[in-house]
Amino acid sequence: MLMTQLVTRLGRNDAKLIGRDSFLIFMFLFAAIIAVVLWLGMPALNSYLAETGVMPGETITISLADVYPMLVAFMALYTGALLVGTVFGFVLLDEKDQHTLRAMLVTPVSLSKFMAYRVGLSAVFAFAIVLGMVYIINQALLPLWQMILFAAAGALAAPIVTLFFAVMAENKVQGFAYSKFGGISGWFILIGWFIPQPWQWLCGIFPPFWVAKAYWLALDGSPWWWLVLAAGVILEIGLIAWFIRRFNRVAYR
């Protein structure tokens, strides 16, 4: 089966599964809600906190604007991809529940092509959503070519999340239980912002942290941002490959 035919057929099925599940639809809408709230809320809150002497103040010496890069990295570069990965992760769990994967054993669609479709589609959707969120938020922006690179690197978190659900959860009930780990894992980005060097690099055990760190370095004008970004991309691709191997072993149980 040609890849274009595969994308068309599976895409129709995905649209049906997502369209009839209000939770999955909300995940897409939630990305837009986050972006709009941050776009309107961050400057207003920054002004309010400064006027009231809270940030900066006697206790907190930094302004809210000083942590915009942290918020954009967590809420757009990571959370945008997390939401997309969750949607496609639950689509995979739907297919498990409906025994779609077992039915594929008697079709011309190989598991490798199916996984290429799943990984590629989630990454493409995540790229569009992450880049859109960054520009809606409209804070701590880099030149367009750099933001495209960071959106592409951040989007790799989506297939990681999708495959995490596919490997770890047996059904959607377990999927809801595991969904908390995606948000908690993102705390590495939040916590890492405040950890001094060189201890900050310990947060690199979480691959998406490298994308956030490279973004912060680029904003600071460091010439080494591309090296950190490349390391993050390599780690993310390695994790995707490991999850795919795991999925190949558990897919038809």
- Structural domain spans, the chain: 3-250
Averaged pLDDT, 186-192:
93
| Confidence (pLDDT) at 53 | 86
Averaged pLDDT, 7-22:
72
Averaged pLDDT, 169-191:
84
| Confidence (pLDDT) at 194 | 92
pLDDT band for position 117 (50/70/90)?
A: confident
| pLDDT(71) > 70 | yes
| Confidence (pLDDT) at 92 | 83
**Buried b or exposed e, range 34-48, using 16+ CB within 10 angstroms:** bbeebeeebeeebee
Q: Report the predicted TM-score, pTM, of the whole model to 2 decimal places.
A: 0.91
| pLDDT(216) > 90 | yes
Averaged pLDDT, 164-175:
83
